[in-house]
């Protein structure tokens, strides 16, 4: 029962053993140092013991898998590997056969298993996910914001911004974890403005999901950076100097960059999000240098869609022929081998600050359910698009999965092409 690195990651060697029973689907750079089973700890009986690392958990998705929330790595495994991995939660002896020892050797190197001096109580809570699996949840905890960005798809929050209560947030996170979720993205508005933010911060710590905080960075001081318990913090940087501030307001660029530096200095995994707009298309060379200089693990590049405030600021929109190729500068944040046959968004859902649940944030006005009804019921009602339904057919379809359906609808039809992706892949 060996794990097999996915072919998309050539920096890891493929195992040649005929007993290979799994593969890797995720995006960290390289693995941990190799460790042999003999270097693992030994139990009272003298046999080597290993256990699953605290950052890892079992997930029953379309296939069984191990997820490392610290590295965002997903490893698909065989059904035969599941009992061994479940037992490894408390500590299990290294198998004596060659295939089993090779499996453990790989798991030690990847940080899935670690030496165990003696058995210790830990129970893995896992069960079968819905199909297709809900892997990514965007949780808008508040509509409050300290900025009024020109491109914000949520528009004006009004005099009394919508906000989820703490108990609703707790229930949503618990249900998402039980549904075998992978990434929880906590957003707003500006999430740090939620009155219970620090309770939410404490709540996400130690969950078997990767927690990601999406912020504009303005409220990140040294104390905040040190106190955050999220696995990752994503800061929005939408240009260099004036081009960033043309979206977000005067004085925001240096504050966002300073926040990113504080987070990196505090040892927080940092990512950067950038929206392509008319004011920053000439900035991407300098932006690329900045993002790498900050030590970001991921650079998410996207285009704003003509919703919310952007409807009144359409001059910010960029021709897809110009914007598409810029998407190729992004790095990190790989999708974990999506279920075949589905268009973009097959594993995503969004919870809006008012309690509505939708297929993604852009479709907040077309809810599939509500927080009071639960995630599972909403997931059952989400309308998913298959690749066969799309009016696009090129050799990159399985890779781009048709691109953004909301953007495609704006370009002429929800089953049509996302022109930005077409230009990204060079088919236009």
Contact call for residues 202 and 229 (beta carbons, < 8 A): yes
Going from N- to C-terminal start, the domains of the chain cover 23-115, 136-424
**Residue 322, C-beta contacts closer than 8 angstroms, at least 6 positions apart:** 281
* pLDDT at residue 86, rounded to an integer: 95
Q: What is the average per-residue pLDDT within 49-69?
A: 97
**Which candidate, 2, 37, 34, places its Cα nearest to that of 17?**
2
* pLDDT at residue 428, rounded to an integer: 80
**Residue 137, C-beta contacts closer than 8 angstroms, at least 6 positions apart:** 172, 176, 181, 183, 184, 185, 348, 349, 350, 351, 375
Measure the CA–CA gap between 263 and 254, rounded to whole angstroms.
Answer: 14
Confidence class for position 19, pLDDT limits 50, 70, 90? very low
Measure the CA–CA gap between 39 and 148, rounded to whole angstroms.
Answer: 56
Measure the CA–CA gap between 133 and 375, rounded to whole angstroms.
Answer: 12
**Which candidate, 388, 335, 377, 344, places its Cα nearest to that of 363?**
344
* pLDDT at residue 355, rounded to an integer: 97
Going from the C-alpha of 204 to that of each of 82, 177, 208, 346, the distances in angstroms are 26, 10, 9, 24
Q: What is the average per-residue pLDDT within 122-126?
A: 85
Q: What is the average per-residue pLDDT within 250-259?
A: 99
Least confident of 114-118, 304-308, 414-418: 304-308
Computed over every residue of the chain, the mean pLDDT equals 88
Q: What is the average per-residue pLDDT within 98-122?
A: 92
- 179 forms beta bridges with none
Asked if residue 218 has pLDDT above 80, the reply is yes
**Residue 285, C-beta contacts closer than 8 angstroms, at least 6 positions apart:** none
Asked if residue 414 has pLDDT above 70, the reply is yes
Asked if residue 39 has pLDDT above 70, the reply is no
Please give the backbone phi and psi of residue 184, each rounded to the nearest 5 degrees, phi first. Answer: -110, 115
Asked if residue 255 has pLDDT above 60, the reply is yes
Confidence class for position 363, pLDDT limits 50, 70, 90? confident
CA angle in degrees (0–180, nearest 5) for 354-355-361: 80
Measure the CA–CA gap between 258 and 269, rounded to whole angstroms.
Answer: 15
* pLDDT at residue 12, rounded to an integer: 26
* pLDDT at residue 328, rounded to an integer: 97
Q: What is the average per-residue pLDDT within 258-267?
A: 99
Asked if residue 194 has pLDDT above 50, the reply is yes
3-class state of residue 108 by DSSP: helix
* pLDDT at residue 14, rounded to an integer: 25
Q: How many helices (H) and strands (E) does the chain have?
A: 13, 17
CA 182 to chain centre: 7
Going from the C-alpha of 301 to that of each of 220, 236, 284, the distances in angstroms are 22, 10, 10
Sign of the CA dihedral running 66, 70, 129, 331:
negative
CA angle in degrees (0–180, nearest 5) for 150-156-162: 135
Measure the CA–CA gap between 245 and 112, rounded to whole angstroms.
Answer: 43
**Residue 123, C-beta contacts closer than 8 angstroms, at least 6 positions apart:** 89, 90
Q: What is the average per-residue pLDDT within 390-413?
A: 85
Contact call for residues 84 and 95 (beta carbons, < 8 A): yes
Measure the CA–CA gap between 274 and 318, rounded to whole angstroms.
Answer: 14
Q: What is the average per-residue pLDDT within 205-217?
A: 97
Q: What is the DSSP string of 352-414?
A: -TTSEEESSGGGTTS-SEEGGG-HHHHHHH----BGGGSS---TTHHHHTTS-HHHHHHTT-T
User: What tokens does 62 get?
Assistant: 């379309």
- 92 forms beta bridges with 50
Percent of the chain scored above 90 by pLDDT?
69
Contact call for residues 112 and 56 (beta carbons, < 8 A): yes
| Domain 23-115 and domain 136-424 have a common topology | no
* pLDDT at residue 413, rounded to an integer: 77
Measure the CA–CA gap between 183 and 234, rounded to whole angstroms.
Answer: 13
- 20 forms beta bridges with 2
**Residue 97, C-beta contacts closer than 8 angstroms, at least 6 positions apart:** none
Q: Which CATH superfamily is domain 136-424 in?
A: Aldolase class I (3.20.20.70)
CATH fold, domain 23-115, is Outer Surface Protein A; domain 3 (3.90.930)
Contact call for residues 230 and 213 (beta carbons, < 8 A): yes
Asked if residue 42 has pLDDT above 70, the reply is no
Measure the CA–CA gap between 188 and 255, rounded to whole angstroms.
Answer: 19
* Count of C-beta atoms within a 10 Å radius of residue 187: 21
User: What tokens does 55 get?
Assistant: 């950052």
* pLDDT at residue 271, rounded to an integer: 99
The tens digit of pLDDT for each residue in 136-190 reads 999 999 999 999 998 888 777 654 579 999 999 999 999 999 999 999 999 999 9
């Amino acid at each position: 029962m060996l794990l097999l690195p996915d072919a998309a990651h050539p920096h890891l060697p493929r195992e040649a053993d005929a007993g290979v029973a799994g593969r890797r689907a995720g995006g960290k750079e390289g693995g941990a140092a190799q460790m042999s089973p003999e270097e693992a700890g030994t139990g009272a009986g003298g046999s080597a013991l290993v256990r699953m690392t605290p950052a890892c958990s079992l997930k029953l998705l379309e296939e069984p898998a191990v997820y490392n929330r610290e590295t965002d790595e997903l490893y698909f495994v065989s059904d035969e590997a599941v009992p061994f991995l479940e037992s490894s939660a408390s500590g299990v002896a290294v198998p004596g056969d060659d295939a089993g020892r090779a499996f453990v050797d790989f798991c030690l190197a990847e940080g899935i298993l670690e030496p165990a001096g003696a058995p210790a109580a830990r129970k893995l809570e896992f069960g079968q996910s819905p199909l297709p699996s809900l892997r990514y949840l965007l949780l808008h905890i508040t509509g409050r914001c300290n900025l009024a960005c020109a491109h914000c798809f949520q528009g004006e929050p009004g005099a009394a911004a919508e906000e989820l209560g703490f108990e609703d947030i707790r229930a949503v996170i618990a249900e998402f974890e039980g549904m075998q979720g992978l990434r929880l993205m906590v957003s707003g508005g500006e999430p740090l403005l939620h009155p219970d933010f620090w309770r939410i911060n404490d709540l996400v710590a130690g969950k078997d999901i990767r927690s990601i905080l999406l912020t504009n960075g303005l409220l990140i001081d040294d104390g905040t950076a040190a106190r955050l318990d999220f696995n990752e913090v994503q800061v929005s940087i939408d240009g260099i100097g004036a081009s960033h501030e043309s979206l977000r307001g005067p004085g925001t660029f240096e504050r966002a960059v300073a926040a990113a530096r504080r987070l990196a200095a505090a040892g927080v995994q940092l990512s950067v999000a950038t929206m392509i707009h008319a004011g920053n298309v000439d900035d991407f060379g300098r932006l690329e240098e900045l993002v790498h200089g900050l030590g970001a693990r991921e650079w998410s590049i996207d285009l704003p869609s003509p919703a919310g405030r952007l409807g009144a600021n359409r001059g910010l929109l960029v021709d897809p022929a110009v914007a598409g190729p810029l998407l190729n500068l992004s790095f990190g944040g790989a999708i974990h081998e999506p279920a075949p046959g589905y268009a973009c968004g097959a594993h995503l859902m969004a919870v809006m600050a008012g309690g509505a649940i939708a297929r993604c944030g852009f479709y907040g006005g077309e809810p599939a359910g509500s927080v009071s009804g639960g995630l599972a019921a909403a997931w059952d009602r989400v309308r998913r698009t298959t690749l066969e339904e799309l009016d696009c057919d090129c050799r990159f379809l399985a890779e781009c999965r048709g691109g953004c359906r909301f953007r495609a609808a704006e370009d002429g039809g929800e089953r049509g092409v996302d022109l930005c992706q077409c230009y990204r892949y060079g088919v236009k």
